[in-house]
Chains A and B, each alone.
Chain A
């Protein structure tokens, strides 16, 4: 295939992935909603997985299939441009969807987190959908400043970190939600499958402890690249500033947990705050910011 065919193929793969993730979303939604059955002749409800177990499995299968399709889309996009597929916001977004799914599937295999499939498929759809409609750019060569091996190193580290930060935020948000529910009494049946507050709390910590070194590395790789392209390894450009703020926020989170002993609600809020600084950087600074990082339209 030539470059144009590859790029077209990649676009079609994104549409196919949107379709597959939509099925995954509905399968997960069905699983959550239809597990709850009213017991005839009384007010109480019971859990009945006889039908929904299959829906959950379909959801997982679709997540895996979607993940493979997105992988192919990202790879062919890169091949079509003869470079790593991280040159503009469209490409960051489809790769971001890829890492989000990867982080979810990894957590799924390790900790049996199928309940996360619902929000993850939703955010994947959102990311891919805005990417292909609003952010789309034709596949092109890079401007000279982006032509560096550090592009691959820096951006991949940043995108993987972003995927994991987002999953950690979803877990922390689930924690807060479940806490509100538990305050009112016992969890309703549909929420019984979600892990205990304690394991949710631990899980978001572990995800962050796992990616914090990678994020540190992403920031440093960016500094090394800036040094080779612009002559200064740190110039407080808005993108750099917000990367630094995110880094400080997660360091504060780790300190709060490890040394001051924050757990539970306060830790979850701090986690969500730190994750929001990352999202803010990605959305606000890329689109409305000015500075050395805003190139090539988007």
Chain B
């Protein structure tokens, strides 16, 4: 009994407007730290910097999930409470509101003179009621006619809109939840000329929602046939990226040619394929002393600046001892006294490959996963350094490297979000509901006859305009 009473009290507190208001403000405040501190999901490198510069502080911040605010228990707690409160508040009102459809307005209250805009009109009783009724009809009020009074109401849509708005917020939340539980998101870097097959092993990174199975990826394949980047010649700023590809869905079906741009992803149902980033893969051939090719092909390099100076690592495990290169690729190489060599433009106009050659153990069998973009030089020694122009060959102690050309690569982001349609519809209905509720004026007006003719009204939330309306009604009532 006591427990039930407490639960009931708790529920009433939770679904009260005051609690909702506090939770709403709290939600806004709780969102702030996520914009002041770097977040793991967006900027993991910056988070790592915190751990390097002040490990104790970073550790404590991590405990309170300050690097993961939007997935933290305290943030989730606030919005879950808010939405429970919302449902608990809005559902009963919706039921009541539905019940009220087609019902007449409530009875005219006894004492009209306590109401807003109370006034007395000069007219005979029956003429007054007739005139008033005509006025209400003309102005589309819902009316209840009793023996010596009329009770009228208008603006029922305000509550309808208000409820629609709040229910839509619930729909948006459902959409967000579906997306994070049943979606997937991954990225893959593909060189021009290469093929991407949509299976988990083709991705560089891939994450699934809690309830999303591995077999649910759309079975398509995509061959990158061309990539064109246009830049502004004076500012080096990118102006347009266009990726051309031939795609087949399902794998093996006849392929067709499509183009993908930054704001124009390729869409298969809930799955979208975005063009996210681009860069260069220099093409090199590496030979051993006897001239046998030990490595040939494009190597993906990562861009470092707006002019696409890129760095990467080339690893040749098949030579004995093993050979590795740390290299930077400059699409338009330029040199100056102060800066050394650098890239002055993002397009390939004067390519240069600067390499350092390392010999020893690449550490590939150590069992620890290694970045393909970096060389672990802890068991290697440097045996050469050179800058190559296109077509150049550099002979180092145990072999040679030839800079044969370059390819562009694109980073594809592949996202499956089954909840976004719900979120979108929620958003559309939310705006509709808001417009309806904020621009509908809800008010009741009464006309009562007896010893005198009384007119009074009540506007919800003190919305202005009631007294003008009552003036108009009075004029009509007083007509002959």
Which A positions have Cβ atoms within 8 angstroms of B? 140-145, 147-148, 150, 202, 209-210, 212-213, 216-217, 220, 223-225, 227-238, 241-242, 244-245, 248-249, 251-252, 255-260, 277, 285, 289-291, 296
Q: List 10 A-B contacts (CB under 8 A).
A: A141-B237, A144-B240, A213-B431, A220-B430, A231-B276, A231-B413, A233-B420, A245-B28, A255-B24, A260-B18
B26-55 with Cβ < 8 A to chain A = 27-28, 31-32, 34-35, 39, 41-43, 46
Query: Are B232 and A248 in contact (CB-based, < 8 A)?
Result: no
Name the one of A144, A233, A242, A260 contacting B21, with C-beta atoms under 8 angstroms.
A260
Distance between Cα atoms of A225 and B274 in the complex (Å): 13
Query: Are A144 and B42 in contact (CB-based, < 8 A)?
Result: no
- The stretch from B131-139, B199-207, B259-267, B374-382 touching chain A is B259-267
Number of A-B contacts (CB under 8 A): 119
Contacts of A251 in B (CB 8 A): 24
- Measured CB to CB, the closest approach of chain A to B278, in angstroms, equals 10
Binary per-residue interface labels of chain B (256-298) against chain A in the complex, 1 for a CB within 8 Å, 0 otherwise: 0000011111000000101010000000000000000000000
Distance between Cα atoms of A244 and B28 in the complex (Å): 7
Which B positions have Cβ atoms within 8 angstroms of A? 17-18, 20-21, 24-25, 27-28, 31-32, 34-35, 39, 41-43, 46, 69-70, 176, 185, 232, 235, 237-241, 261-265, 272, 274, 276, 413, 415, 417, 420, 423-424, 427, 430-431, 434-435, 438, 461, 464
Query: Are A290 and B185 in contact (CB-based, < 8 A)?
Result: no
Contacts of B420 in A (CB 8 A): 227, 233
Query: Are B272 and A231 in contact (CB-based, < 8 A)?
Result: yes
Given A213-B434, A241-B31, A255-B17, A231 and B427 contact (CB-CB distance below 8 Å): no
Distance between Cα atoms of A213 and B413 in the complex (Å): 33
Given A231-B185, A231-B413, A238-B35, A209 and B263 contact (CB-CB distance below 8 Å): no
Name the one of A147, A242, A257, A258 contacting B35, with C-beta atoms under 8 angstroms.
A242
Query: Are A232 and B430 in contact (CB-based, < 8 A)?
Result: no
Contacts of B431 in A (CB 8 A): 213, 216-217, 220
Name the one of A145, A220, A230, A235 contacting B427, with C-beta atoms under 8 angstroms.
A220
Distance between Cα atoms of A248 and B221 in the complex (Å): 43
Query: Are B265 and A228 in contact (CB-based, < 8 A)?
Result: yes
Given A140-B235, A255-B21, A248 and B423 contact (CB-CB distance below 8 Å): no
- Measured CB to CB, the closest approach of chain A to B289, in angstroms, equals 47
Query: Are A228 and B25 in contact (CB-based, < 8 A)?
Result: no
Contacts of A241 in B (CB 8 A): 31-32, 34-35
Given A144-B263, A241-B35, A252 and B17 contact (CB-CB distance below 8 Å): no
Given A144-B261, A229-B262, A216 and B438 contact (CB-CB distance below 8 Å): no
Distance between Cα atoms of A217 and B433 in the complex (Å): 12
Query: Are A141 and B424 in contact (CB-based, < 8 A)?
Result: no
Query: Are B274 and A244 in contact (CB-based, < 8 A)?
Result: no
Instruction: Tell which of B20, B46, B438 has the most Cβ of chain A within 10 Å.
Output: B438
Name the one of A144, A210, A242 contacting B238, with C-beta atoms under 8 angstroms.
A144
Distance between Cα atoms of A230 and B21 in the complex (Å): 33
Distance between Cα atoms of A251 and B176 in the complex (Å): 20
Contacts of A213 in B (CB 8 A): 431, 434-435, 438
Query: Are A143 and B34 in contact (CB-based, < 8 A)?
Result: no
Q: A248-B28, A255-B24, A260-B21 are in contact. List 5 more A-B contacts (CB 8 A).
A: A143-B237, A209-B438, A212-B438, A236-B31, A245-B31
Write the chain A residue with the least CB distance to B183. Answer: A232
Distance between Cα atoms of A235 and B238 in the complex (Å): 24
Query: Are A252 and B25 in contact (CB-based, < 8 A)?
Result: yes
Distance between Cα atoms of A27 and B274 in the complex (Å): 55
Contacts of A256 in B (CB 8 A): 21
- Measured CB to CB, the closest approach of chain B to A220, in angstroms, equals 4
Query: Are A141 and B39 in contact (CB-based, < 8 A)?
Result: no
Write the chain A residue with the least CB distance to B32. Answer: A245
Query: Are B241 and A144 in contact (CB-based, < 8 A)?
Result: yes
Query: Are B430 and A216 in contact (CB-based, < 8 A)?
Result: yes
Query: Are B24 and A252 in contact (CB-based, < 8 A)?
Result: yes
Given A140-B232, A147-B240, A216-B431, A229 and B438 contact (CB-CB distance below 8 Å): no
Name the one of B42, B264, B461 contacting A235, with C-beta atoms under 8 angstroms.
B42
Distance between Cα atoms of A296 and B464 in the complex (Å): 46
Name the one of A220, A233, A245, A290 contacting B43, with C-beta atoms under 8 angstroms.
A290
Given A231-B274, A258-B461, A145 and B263 contact (CB-CB distance below 8 Å): yes
- Measured CB to CB, the closest approach of chain B to A173, in angstroms, equals 21
- Measured CB to CB, the closest approach of chain B to A223, in angstroms, equals 7
Write the chain A residue with the least CB distance to B27. Answer: A248
- Measured CB to CB, the closest approach of chain A to B288, in angstroms, equals 43
- Measured CB to CB, the closest approach of chain B to A161, in angstroms, equals 13
Contacts of A220 in B (CB 8 A): 427, 430-431
Query: Are B232 and A141 in contact (CB-based, < 8 A)?
Result: yes
Contacts of B238 in A (CB 8 A): 143-144
